[in-house]
A and B are shown apart, each in its own frame.
Chain A
């Protein structure tokens, strides 16, 4: 590669990197449900830290927010529990309602949150939590 191409590649890297959204880990997350989609649909949280989620359903229909490993989602895809309560990672929301929950993510990596009401996942009501190492800025349990 010629020096000019190296410089071009470097500039491109800087530009792309500069435009990429910064996803700093946080232990305070607000997720809005609007038109049957999650906003944001990607969040980054520190491992081993209680993460407070504020879930705001702005839609005139009910939704749910289930976060967990693939096996949990598979259960909910065929589940019959109409309303979820008592488990912090399984939250049902009535229309125009807000709920708060706190979840601790121990394993690094990505974990999905999905609304499993009929047709909602297929419609795109899905997001991802990226769990990163705690850099010491967040208090653990």
Chain B
């Protein structure tokens, strides 16, 4: 049933079919494990916003190989739980628009880490070690390095892009050896659901180009499910195209609600699908979604109106400054940094 008059919207963002063409000579910058093989792909992401809480589901696809490798995901706020996601929610959402087609307490005390970053939450889902971090771009990068990983060359700028809006990141480290020991096969996905209290949706897109070269392409599907038709920014018709814009079917909502830990799916919603088809160098923004009913998505939320980059000498203090306004956006966190174990060069 639709909650008329409420400012609460439900937003679901699903990013599927993330594929980037990586030239062989540039393979070092991509998803690389300790054996040099590309073996973890972020294939599908879902973020839902309802009653002031974001429910975020993503899946990591096991592509074979051993060792450890992982990603960083920017979050709009501090999660209240990180747990295994529903088994088929992401596939059901993708099907809907195809052409014919362990819990945490939010009050958990932060544990200091060596790099200065705060570790807010830690859990394991199958072969994935998940850690919620709070810190500036430098702190988060230092945490990754402290844990034996090296970041791709674009990571400093992309981390800065996100950290200037939210200091919360989720580090997802995939243990390829554990996956193999669990009997996971190539192509198997591990769904993860993150629940984040936050006031307004925002879908990171620039993150999809991380670890790629400027001429590489990003190809992704973004699904939104809101109580009402959302106002979006930017939708330019070229690199980000609107492909579906209609009331969500009752069958879809019922199906989604029947999956594990998906009982929060509302009884009515508006379904939107956008297609990202862009060169990495052109994907310099995120998707702002106005869920307040005001029809005015934030240029800041889209990353279009960030403050001018300070001089290098001022960066560290600025990024760590507690006076920086924390702007919480509900919606999809996305993979931010892709790393590999040092020594795999």
The answer to whether A35 and B213 touch across the interface, beta carbons within 8 angstroms, is no
A117 to B157, CA, bound (A): 17
A110 to B160, CA, bound (A): 33
Residues of B within 8 A of A (CB-CB), count: 27
| Residues of A that sit less than 8 Å from B by CB | 32, 34-36, 58-62, 80, 82, 95-96, 115, 117-120, 122-123, 125
A125 to B29, CA, bound (A): 14
In the complex, what residues of B have CB within 8 A of residue A118's CB? 28-29, 345
The answer to whether A120 and B343 touch across the interface, beta carbons within 8 angstroms, is no
The answer to whether B29 and A119 touch across the interface, beta carbons within 8 angstroms, is yes
The answer to whether B152 and A119 touch across the interface, beta carbons within 8 angstroms, is yes
In the complex, what residues of B have CB within 8 A of residue A123's CB? 29, 153-154, 213-214
Q: Which of B150, B160, B214, B345 contacts A80 (CB 8 A)?
A: B345
- Mark interface residues in B131-146 (1 if CB within 8 Å of A CB, else 0): 0000001100110010
In the complex, what residues of A have CB within 8 A of residue B151's CB? 60-61
A96 to B157, CA, bound (A): 15
The answer to whether B157 and A95 touch across the interface, beta carbons within 8 angstroms, is no
> Helix, strand, loop or mixed for chain B's interface?
helix
In the complex, what residues of A have CB within 8 A of residue B186's CB? none
Q: Report the nearest B residue to A60, measured CB to CB.
A: B141
The answer to whether B145 and A36 touch across the interface, beta carbons within 8 angstroms, is no
A32 to B28, CA, bound (A): 24
**Contact of B159 with A by CB under 8 A:** yes
In the complex, what residues of B have CB within 8 A of residue A95's CB? 141-142, 145
Sample of 4 further A-B pairs with CB below 8 A, known A118-B28, A123-B29: A34-B156, A58-B313, A61-B156, A119-B26
The answer to whether A122 and B315 touch across the interface, beta carbons within 8 angstroms, is no
**Which of A59, A62, A95 has most chain B Cβ within 10 Å?**
A59
Q: Report the nearest A residue to B212, measured CB to CB.
A: A119
